[in-house]
Each structure stands twice: as C-alpha cells, then as structure tokens.
Amino acid sequence: MSEAFAAVDVIAAKRDGGRIPDEQIDWVIDAYTRGAVAEEQMAALAMAILLRGMEPSELARWTAAMIASGVRLDLSSVDRPTTDKHSTGGVGDKITLPLAPLVAACGAAVPQLSGRGLGHTGGTLDKLESIPGWRASLTNDEFLAQLRSVGAVVCAAGDELAPADRKLYALRDVTATVESIPLIASSIMSKKIAEGSSALVLDVKVGTGAFMKNVASARSLAETMVSLGTAHGVRTVALLTNMHTPLGRTVGNALEVAESLEVLAGDGPSDVIELTLVLAREMLAGAGLSDVDPADALRDGRAMDVWRRMISAQGGDPAAPLPTARETHVVVAPASGVLSRLDAYAVGVAGWRLGAGRARKEDPVSPGAGVVLLAKPGDSVQAGQPLLELHADDPARFDGALSALEGGYDIGAAPTAQPLIIERIS
C-alpha cells in the first residue's frame, strides 16, 4: 500500500524544532507498528524528540496514537471502582506485592500489569515468579474473571496492549534515547491508560537508585505523566519518593516476597509499611473510597487473605516455602560509628551481580539471590558487626557484588533525616 506520509518529513519537522502535525503522529506510530517505517528512521525520530522535546498537545496525541496501536481493556464488567499504581523502579521496591491485595481488601479493584527487571532495578513479575507455581501470563478473560472474583491481578501485559510501545521501548534501549521525558512518559502512560483503570497513582522515584537522580527531573516527569493521564480521562496523581537508600531490608526476588509477607502480617520495615499505606490511601481516594483506612485491613488480616487468593488464582502455592540461595557471604562494618549512607544504586548493582537481576531481557534470574540489609542509615554499628548479607547460588558471584559495594556506604556521623515522601503532584 502507498503510505500517506514520508517518515523523513516527520523526522525533519522534529529535527528543526517544529510540532509534528496530529495526522503525521497518527501515521508514524501506526506505520512503525506495521513495519512500514524502518528502525533507523524511528531511531532518528526518537533522537530528535530527545533533543527537541514535545509540546503538551503533541505528546498527548503521540500517547493516544500509542494506545490506539492496540486494544484498550474494557473493565466495565468489574463491579467495583478500579485503581492502579505505577512505580518508575527502584531498589528493594516490593511495594506492589502488599499494596495490590491491601487496596483490594478495602473494596477497590486493582488491575496491575507489571514488568520484569532490567539492570539494577527489580521487576515485580520476577519477584512473584519465585513463588512455586505462580504464572505471569493470563488471557484477557482470566484477567477479568480474577479482577471480579479476587479484586486484584498482577500479571504481564498481553501482546495486544500498546504494541507500538513494545517496539519503541526496545529501540530506545539501544539508541541512547531512554532519557527523553516525553518518550518515558508516553511509554508508561500508554500502557497504563490502555489497561483501563479509572484512577492511577504514580510513584516516581528520586535518588541514586532511581532513573531520575534529582527532584527537578522527577518533578518534570511526574507533571508530564499526570497531565497525560488527566487528558485521557484517568484520575492521576504522582508522589515523588526517596530512592537514595534501598526500600526495606531486602533486595532480591524471593527475599522481597518474604518481606512483603511480613508487611501483610502487620509487621515488616517501617519505610515499606509507610509507603504502602500512603499509596493505598491515594489509590482509594482516586477510587472514591477515601473514608476507608487501609491500616485496618493490614491489622485484621484481610489483606493477607486477598494475597493468598490472588496467588492461588494464578497457580501459585501461597503456603509453599520460598527458594533460597545456596551460598551466603557477610559484609562487616570496617569501623564503629553510625551507618550514615547506604547507596541504593550500589546495593542494586550488587544484587544484580549476585543473580537477582538481568542484563538482557532473555536472561534468567536466580530467585533466591540478593542482599539482606542488616543495618540501615542511622543505625549505630560496631567494627566487625554484620552490615550486609549477600545471597547467591554461585559463590563466584560474590567478588563482583563486593566490588559494586566498594564506596557504597559510609560510617561516620548520624545522617540528616530524609523524608520518604518528597512531594505530591496532582
């Protein structure tokens, strides 16, 4: 078939700092998805967008075209309000695991399409796949049936959901265009809007272990995503949250599941509990359920009940023992004092090198690998006291993890307290 436009004209318009006309946006996304626009042409356009940016109306149209490349799920058959959360990714960020069943226990439905980890940030699906029998892939019918019966689904996005994003995401990864805020925002929001939820809470991480290293860039991304969600009829708010230090006391798949179970049992690290409850309250408010206190559902066991049903519905055995790594290695404090810094990125890379993460999408992960934090910033430690416990199936991995941790922590004066929740954007 003859094409309505030439890709080179679209590239040139953006290269010269212009706004791509709506009909050309619609065409280029559709043509790229069909294979009529070559990879090198879309790579050039992505680089032009990174360098020149996009106007808000232009980006809204681009995102709409990404959504239109596939299906938009219809959740109208679900008899409770729908609300979801998306995190931009961090180290020890297991919040989805306790959060989805908690919000479902409070009367909302949580349709969460999640991803796998790449590099130093962990993926929710990798964590859940450490539970024996649990499966990430569901048909649309299974997805809807579970949403109606259990109230919470965490699974992989199907191929029919924003296929343009899947192609463009892989291209950005190999063309140094990942950092473009318009492309990040449209990638996240096209999938989340296509998912069909009525309300969305964004957890935008800020810090060394996050994609956005400073508050200004995180705020810019959050504001862009909130405006995109609002423009597409989804009630959207964003929280900027601290990712200079890992969340909780575990980094690694089965280790983080075990910690999530502690939270669901009414215990667990205070930062994980705090962020879970803050996000739950935002999600419930978006669903029109702001009078429900999620802390009650943690205390009385309702959230744990929904967790067991959610895991069982996807073939998992919630009572089965979680996998453990074959080998451990303890890192001890080199001096006495206060642990003043524990760098999230260093710990994330260590966990990755131990086998908890992957360098390429097709790489396997070791479910029991990871890092246990035996001290957090602000804790007093003695020389020789255990600081970190490394878990791996292959002891040859310890050297790489230890080199990642070099310079990743300090012992000295007490650190200045940093808030977990930095800012709210609506």
CA separation for the pair 327, 56 (Å, rounded): 51
Of residues 26, 93, 165, 271, which has the active-site annotation? 165
List CB contacts of 136: < 8 A, sequence separation 6 or more: 125, 128, 129, 155, 156, 314
Q: Which of 185, 220, 182 is nearest to 200 (CA)?
A: 185
| Residue 94 is among the residues annotated as catalytic for this protein | no
| Residue 205 is among the residues annotated as catalytic for this protein | no
Tokens of residue 159, six digits: 């191929």
- The torsion region of residue 91 among left (phi > 0), alpha (psi -120 to 50) and beta comes to beta
Q: For residue 178, give the DSSP letter.
A: T
Of residues 14, 85, 86, 281, which has the active-site annotation? 86
| Residue 191 is among the residues annotated as catalytic for this protein | yes
CA separation for the pair 75, 91 (Å, rounded): 32
**Single-letter amino acid code for the residue at 317:** D
Tokens of residue 421, six digits: 């929740």
Q: Which of 136, 339, 347 is nearest to 252 (CA)?
A: 347
Of residues 69, 187, 190, 366, which has the active-site annotation? 187
| Residue 391 is among the residues annotated as catalytic for this protein | no
Of residues 191, 219, 281, 353, which has the active-site annotation? 191
For residues 195 and 113, the answer to whether their CB atoms sit within 8 Å is: yes
| Residue 86 is among the residues annotated as catalytic for this protein | yes
Of residues 172, 192, 219, 302, which has the active-site annotation? 172
By annotation, the residues acting in catalysis are: 86, 165, 172, 187, 191
